A and B are shown apart, each in its own frame.
Chain A
Amino acid sequence: MGEYFKNIYSGLQSFVAGLQLSLHHYHSRKKLVATLQYPHEKWPVEERHIGFDLQDYNVVRSRLHVDINDCIGCNQCMRACPVDCIKIESVKPPKGSEFDPGTTSNGTQKRMLVARFDIDLTECMFCNLCTYPCPEDCIYMVGGPNSAKHQIEYEYSQRDRKDLIFHFANPPEEEILAAGGADYLAKKKGLPVPEKPAAGVAAKPKSTEPKINYTPVNAITDRMTRSLAKKAFTAAVRAGKTPSETAASVKQALEEAGKYTSELDAVMESIGKADLMTQAVQAPETKLTKPDQGGLDIKLLNDLTDRMTRSIAKKAFMAAVREGKDARAVADSIQSALQAANKFSDEVKSVLAKLQSAGGASAATESDQKPASVALNIKVLNGISDKMTRGLAKKTFMAARREGKIPAEIVTEVKQTLEDAGKLTPEYAKIIDSLQEGT
């Protein structure tokens, strides 16, 4: 019985104690409430670190930011991006234009107006690869080592997915027009680009890249046969076969397809005799030396054994060349950069001497050279009505173009892919053929 009342007493005690506790929390809720109403309020953000002394690690999970005033529109970040999430469009003022795009904070004279600089952060994978090539250090991950330039951001969330595409460059239309970007604006708005005589633009010189000579194969009249023959021909030439071997392999391919007729003997013969390349595969090194390097060869710097030293030297080299310095000045700037980094050594000295002597000889010649294969217009493929087919065709087209193939080859390849996928109809074949006609 005593136990019973003791139980009731202790029950009452804990009853009252419990009620007191919850009432205390109810009354002092202003002090105790722990909820943070997230979209409206945010905790102050702390710098991230991974717990040991590796400051650079800080940049990895941050957001890309561009100081657009420092951007010279060199497109290096765009090219570096592995997922193609950066899109840059720039307008180059025509020669003799009064327009001044300004200078960067490093003092570099800008050559063009960056009309569009979009980063699609839905695609960005935060690899940081775009920040290294930037000559002006204007694209970087916010926070961490760059927190002086841009504070780290709390989060990168947006209400709308569209808003995750950051438009860093927003020059007013007048500015684009002043920079001679009338064509650009018209294109952007979807208006027809005004026809212009080619006077202002230098005629595009032919590519120095060696081309496969298709003249003998083009003599085949039947379209199917021709495409098969071309394919085998290309493969054989790529494999470095001699003309007669090439002819044999083409013949074999056609026989396998049941397309070989005696009429083709003459063609095979001509293949056996012809030059396979319009230009021989001579000295590809000359091609790699970019003309805008003022005749200086950056490859000379590859003689530097230390990796760090080499990269600093190359960076300085590029910067100096871009500023239009001559060989001597380039060597000087490399030297000062390396000295600043405390990497200057006798080895560097000898390399720089070589650089000066090599560069001094050749004069800087400027010319715009582009591979001719890009002349095909992918928009022609928009005529394909089926979405799947169109996508496949475009994909193949892009892949082929990236490999630097010539128009005829691209057409063949696109057709072949569609045929393999069982999507090729005569109608589509015509559209794809018109790719080549358009050029």
Chain B
Amino acid sequence: MTSVIDSMLKLFGSPQAAGSSAVSLIVAVVIAGLVVFTIMAVMAIVAVYFERKVSAFMQDRIGPMEVGIFGFKGGKQFWGGIGQTLADTVKLLVKEDILPKEADKKLMIMAPFIIFIASFLTFIGVPLSENLVVSDFNIGIFYVMAAGSIGVIGIILAGWSSNNKWSLYGALRSAAQIISYEIPIGLSLMLVVIVAGSLNFGDIVAWQAEHRWFFIHSPFAFVAFIIYVIAGVAETNRTPFDIPEAESELVAGWMTEYSGFRWSIFFMSEYANVLIISIIASVVFLGGWLSPLAIFGVHFTWLEGPLWGLFWIFSKAVFFVFVMMWFRWTFPRLRVDQLMYFCWKVLIPFALANIIFISVWELIF
């Protein structure tokens, strides 16, 4: 598996001139960065629409129905208000830039970018298809976990610099929550690493192609899969684990004092994190870019290749995004103590037990 940066460098660069290789490195990085940024932005716009529609349907409403794109409105069903989030985006971007007078302005301006950089950096290690990853680390899972944790610094900065009690409460809750839930995520991914024997996403998918997808690998792997999904939802600060935002308690948590463009960056990062968690879940547990038909022993050569890989990986990711929304619009928010109880007393013991059992399982089979 080769990364996009490497192949682009090979494409542009001539090994003779040292100067031109520096230029081609910059070009390759900029192109890859733009692609990642586009994915994040499009994801935010599409996911917000998706979320509004899904929540509406689950609550017997119909969601946005009035705004179309260039006069196109999709009728009474799902695409009825297709232009709504585009209009909302424009609204957000042209909003007045507000910084509270007593806020720590430097930190407050910096915080959204730290959060954004965290999800942006995470995306670099996330595979989008076979041989389609910005940079292919041999410690991919570890990198993604590590880069994803940077965001919590931005959250604490945002909460502190806003000089607002709601923001600070939200930031502290968020820090506690994200740090806690990284443990079950790490433990459940570690199970996969133990079985596959590699931290590299390509190797893990190759293992699944050879044997079977991880979520049906063993009962323990299935439990790990469940733990990963639940902890992943908590990691993205979404309902039912949205106590850092907790509209009814903390106004908007650490985002209370943010509006307009800065707030839209938060939003973009949040949905990018949703997508990252979903893609990793589909890569690690659902066979990544492998066709689901392969489970049943059906192999079509025309159903394979990088583009089909992209299609499959995104179908699986969209399914996970839907599951996250499904959770969000089904369950009420947990209390702070319930949240901690759930993490430390339920998820972590089960994840630890899982690792012991899977080791025994590996020894036996």
Contacts and interface: CB of A to CB of B under 8 A. Distances in A.
Note whether A and B form a binding pair.
Answer: yes
A391 interface: no
B54 A26 contact: yes
Nearest to B346: A8
A19 B54 CA distance: 13
Interface centre among B58, B61, B327, B345 (most CB of A within 10 A): B58
Contact of B57 (A8, A18, A29, A37): A29
B346 A32 contact: no
Given A33-B62, A37-B62, A21 B57 contact: no
B60 A34 contact: yes
Given A18-B331, A19-B326, A26-B54, A32 B60 contact: yes
Contact of A35 (B61, B329, B346): B61
Contacts of B329: 22
B65 interface: yes
Interface residues of B, number: 15
A37 B346 CA distance: 45
B38 interface: no
A29 B53 CA distance: 11
Interface in A1-28: 4, 8, 15, 18-19, 21-23, 25-26
Contact of B59 (A4, A15, A18, A25): A25
A15 B331 CA distance: 8
A15 B326 CA distance: 11
A257 to B, nearest CB: 61
Contact of A23 (B59, B326, B331, B346): B326
A33 B61 contact: yes
Contacts of A18: 330-331
A34 B58 contact: no
Contact of B330 (A21, A32, A34): A21
A15 B229 CA distance: 13
A8 B331 CA distance: 16
Interface magnitude class on chain A: 10 to 19
A34 B57 contact: no
Given A8-B346, A37-B65, A22 B60 contact: no
Interface in A24-58: 25-26, 29, 32-35, 37
Contacts of B330: 18-19, 21-22
Contacts of B345: 4
A26 B346 contact: no
Interface string A137-180: 00000000000000000000000000000000000000000000
B60 A25 contact: yes
B326 A35 contact: no
A139 to B, nearest CB: 38
Interface centre among B60, B65, B326, B345 (most CB of A within 10 A): B60
Interface in B47-103: 54, 57-62, 65
Contacts of A26: 54, 57-58, 326
Contacts of B327: 19
Contacts of A8: 346
Contacts of B60: 25, 29, 32-35
Nearest to B328: A22
Contacts of B58: 22-23, 25-26
Given A18-B330, A33-B60, 17 more contacts: A4-B345, A22-B58, A22-B326, A22-B329, A23-B58, A23-B326, A25-B57, A25-B60, A26-B54, A26-B57, A29-B60, A33-B57, A34-B60, A35-B60, A35-B61, A35-B62, A37-B65
**The 8 A-B residue pairs with the shortest CB-CB distance in the complex, in nearest-first order:** A22-B330, A29-B57, A22-B58, A32-B60, A18-B330, A35-B62, A26-B57, A26-B58
Interface of A: 4, 8, 15, 18-19, 21-23, 25-26, 29, 32-35, 37
16 contacts: A8-B346, A19-B326, A19-B327, A19-B330, A22-B326, A25-B59, A26-B54, A26-B57, A26-B58, A29-B60, A29-B62, A33-B57, A33-B60, A34-B60, A35-B61, A37-B62
